Amino acid sequence: MFEIVSKRELAPNIVEMKVYAPRVASSALPGQFVIVRTDRTGERIPLTICDYDTDKGTVTIVTQAVGHSSRKIIDMAEGDTFADFAGPLGCPSDLLDLPEEELKKKRILFVAGGVGTAPVYPQVKWLKEHGVDADVVIGAKTKDLFTYVDEMKTVGNVYLCTDDGSEGFHGMVTGLMKDLIDNRGKEYDHCVIIGPMIMMKFAALTTKEYGIPTVVSLNALMVDGTGMCGACRVTVDGQTRFTCVEGPEFDGHKVDFDEAMRRQNMYRDHKKTHPETHNCKCNG
Partner 1 sequence: MANRIPRVPVREQDPQVRATNFEEVCYGYNSEEATLEASRCLNCKNPRCVSSCPVHINIPEFIRHIAEGDLKSAAATIAADSSLPSVCGRVCPQESQCEGSCVLGIKSESVAIGKLERFVGDWAIANSGDLPKPEIISNGKKVAIVGSGPAGLACASDLARLGYEVKIFEALHEVGGVLVYGIPEFRLPKERIVAKEVDAVRRLGVEIETDVIVGRTMTIDDLLDNQGYDAVFIGSGAGLPRFMGIDGENLNGVFSANEFLTRANLMHAYDDSFDTPIYTGKKVVVVGGGNVAMDAVRTACRLGADSVIVYRRSEAELPARVEEVHHAKQEGIEFKMLTNPVRILGDEKGWVRGIECVEMELGEPDESGRRSPVKKEGSNFEIDCDVVIMALGTSPNPLIKSTTKGLETNRRGCIVADEDGRTSRKGVFAGGDAVTGAATVILAMGAGRKAAKAIDEYLNNQVCES
The residue count for the chain:
284
Q: Which is nearer to partner 1, 190 or 263 (CB)?
A: 263
Beta carbon of residue 206, minimum distance to ligand FES (angstroms, whole number): 29
75/267 with CB nearer partner 1: 267
Look at residue 88 and give the partner it binds from ligand FES, partner 1, none, a contact being a CB closer than 5 to 8 Å depending on partner kind.
partner 1
Nearer to partner 1, 190 or 241 (CB): 241
Strand ranges for 38-184 from DSSP E: 45-53, 58-64, 81-82, 84-89, 108-113, 135-140, 157-162, 169-170
What whole-number distance in Å separates Cα of residue 73 and Cα of residue 13? 11
DSSP 255: B
Nearest to 267 by CA among 29, 22, 113, 67: 67
Among ligand FES, partner 1, none, partner that 11 touches (CB below 5 to 8 angstroms by kind): none
How far CA 245 is from CA of 92, 197, 216, in Å, comes to: 10, 19, 15
Nearer to partner 1, 153 or 278 (CB): 278
Cα–Cα distance, 104 to 96 (Å, whole number): 12
Residues 212-271 that bind partner 1 (CB under 8 A): 223-224, 226-231, 233, 235, 240, 245, 259, 262-263, 266-267, 270-271
Binds partner 1 (CB under 8 A): choice among 47, 61, 89, 124:
89
Q: How far is the CB of 193 from partner 1 (least distance, A)?
A: 22
Give the whole-angstrom CA distance, residue 39 versus residue 155: 35
Rounded to whole angstroms, the Cα distance separating 125 from 50 reads 10
Residues 218-237 that bind ligand FES (CB under 6 A): 222-225, 227-232
Contact 273, 283 (CB under 8 A): yes
Residue ranges binding ligand FES (CB under 6 A)? 222-225, 227-232, 242, 244
Residue ranges binding partner 1 (CB under 8 A)? 23-24, 27, 32, 37, 41-44, 68-69, 72, 83-89, 223-224, 226-231, 233, 235, 240, 245, 259, 262-263, 266-267, 270-275, 279-283
